[in-house]
Structure 1
């Protein structure tokens, strides 16, 4: 029933006829299942550590490097994405906070990490639409998370890392493209090669909306009335599950030639327990 709801912006009245239930019961079932699932995955969806197990990291980096990336240690791509929402009904100051001046819409923002097997391995949020990607990276403590989960140690010459666009600041856990008017030929070559492979994260943003169009129907995404963040985040989870079943192959997985985990492996990673150092305050949805 929830998948039916998410797949398109259907009216509850139409679902009532389809499932032979009253409109109020349809809403209760959907809301209840959303709550159950989100509670079960609240740690694993922040960062699916099974995706980044030590024995997997070399394979992730090799898949990206083999497609022409100049950097041999990148295991995933990081970027922010926006979900358009209806204009908040609160006062002007609240509306201003949710408004994104670049896209000219009210929105929620999320930070995603996508691996070359086509899995969104981390999705943190929501944040208000006016926030910058680097701000979200800092506030979500992603640097500390990556250090912990990728087992970054000081004496490693070239540790595994993520790659993002120029909105992110360079660090030992996160690389981004070189900027400036006097770049060397090598810098330009690295930028070009990494831009080519980094597009995979945009493909996965598109996959969420391809399968679950309800999440992008902004007139139904009302803060305080519905749960836009829950809709988007669960849509991303269900997108991952579709890829894991192999019924609809991910464009990212096909491009890098790397099979996603089985559905059982993916779900077990989602349902992990809390890790020392994680805090309930990190859960933002």
Structure 2
């Protein structure tokens, strides 16, 4: 008899949430390792094909403005509707090109780049780049960078400057009119320090999101026996399931760590790329807004 659909889903979810080996999952459900493999692959492929666009997409203009308003009320920085960062997912790297997958901490991984909102919902993902890639390099290959016209379009005049809806990033990312990062250096002014603090308060939500994601789906925090070619599909599946859980306000597993995965995450160094003139003007307008009496 074929394995019922609900049991196939249960096998796949159990595998994703426990990171148990194929052998252990097979013994738990009374099936063969081959059956577990087929269930995991089949369920993950179906979830990505049927639910990816429904659960992971950039907000429309109205929703983005609502998110930005909540961020403004909480942190005083206007027009920020999301935050972006990368997280390394452990994999068993192939022999061919093995060194490309070795990250700065010395273990093999692929990079998950994600944009999240203030409620820890993942809005955009780019996954699959080898672990040695810098966050800025991953960003340059993503649809988020290649198709800025698909971003929510709504600007606001701030200190005489038209400021579009923004995504907050860390110093590893380039400064763009729609992607803000803080000031770098050791001798920052009071204004620049305050701007960095406000921007970081928004950006930290992406770190919380990665913590929740890996707490629920432990296959993303440990080296698993999933083939490296299929890991991007597994990661995308976990992101979809994460959004389903967050939308329903499902609590985290009580024994799961909130933030730190078992393997220490590598940190990319900041980049001092040539600044976009419009982006510099927008950032300065935000700084002026923070210090203008309200």
TM-score, with length taken from structure 1: 0.76
TM-superposed deviation, 1:152: 5.8
Task: Give runs of aligned pairs for residues 81-160 of structure 1, distance below 5 A.
Answer: 81-90=87-96, 94-100=97-103, 102-151=104-153, 157-160=162-165
Check the 8 A contact 2:86/2:111 in 1, yes or no: yes
Q: Which residue of 2 aligns with 1:207?
A: 212
TM-superposed deviation, 1:173: 1.0
Question: Which one has more relative contact order, counting CA pairs under 8 Å at least 6 apart?
Answer: 1
User: Deviation string for 1:193-219 (max 9, x for gaps)?
Assistant: 221232111111111110111222214
Q: Provide the rounded CA distance (Å) in 2 between the counterparts of 1:13 and 1:66.
A: 50
3-state DSSP class of the match of 2:84? strand
User: Deviation string for 1:10-38 (max 9, x for gaps)?
Assistant: 23334334434333222212211112222
Q: Provide the rounded CA distance (Å) in 2 between the counterparts of 1:9 and 1:152.
A: 42
Q: Provide the rounded CA distance (Å) in 2 between the counterparts of 1:12 and 1:112.
A: 28
Task: Give runs of aligned pairs for residues 231-250 of structure 1, distance below 5 A.
Answer: 231-248=234-251
Which one has the largest radius of gyration? 2
Q: Provide the rounded CA distance (Å) in 2 between the counterparts of 1:219 and 1:10.
A: 8
Q: Provide the rounded CA distance (Å) in 1 between the counterparts of 2:156 and 2:71.
A: 24
TM-score, with length taken from structure 2: 0.74
TM-superposed deviation, 1:44: 5.4
Choose 215-224 or 1-10, whichever is displaced more. 215-224
Task: Calculate the aligned-residue CA RMSD, in Å.
Answer: 2.3
Check the 8 A contact 1:76/1:115 in 2, yes or no: yes
Check the 8 A contact 2:51/2:240 in 1, yes or no: no
Q: Provide the rounded CA distance (Å) in 1 between the counterparts of 2:31 and 2:100.
A: 39
Check the 8 A contact 2:84/2:169 in 1, yes or no: yes
Q: Which residue of 2 aligns with 1:161?
A: 166
The count of aligned residue pairs is 239
Q: Which residue of 2 aligns with 1:187?
A: 192
Q: Provide the rounded CA distance (Å) in 1 between the counterparts of 2:149 and 2:156.
A: 10
3-state DSSP class of the match of 2:163? coil
Check the 8 A contact 2:118/2:202 in 1, yes or no: no
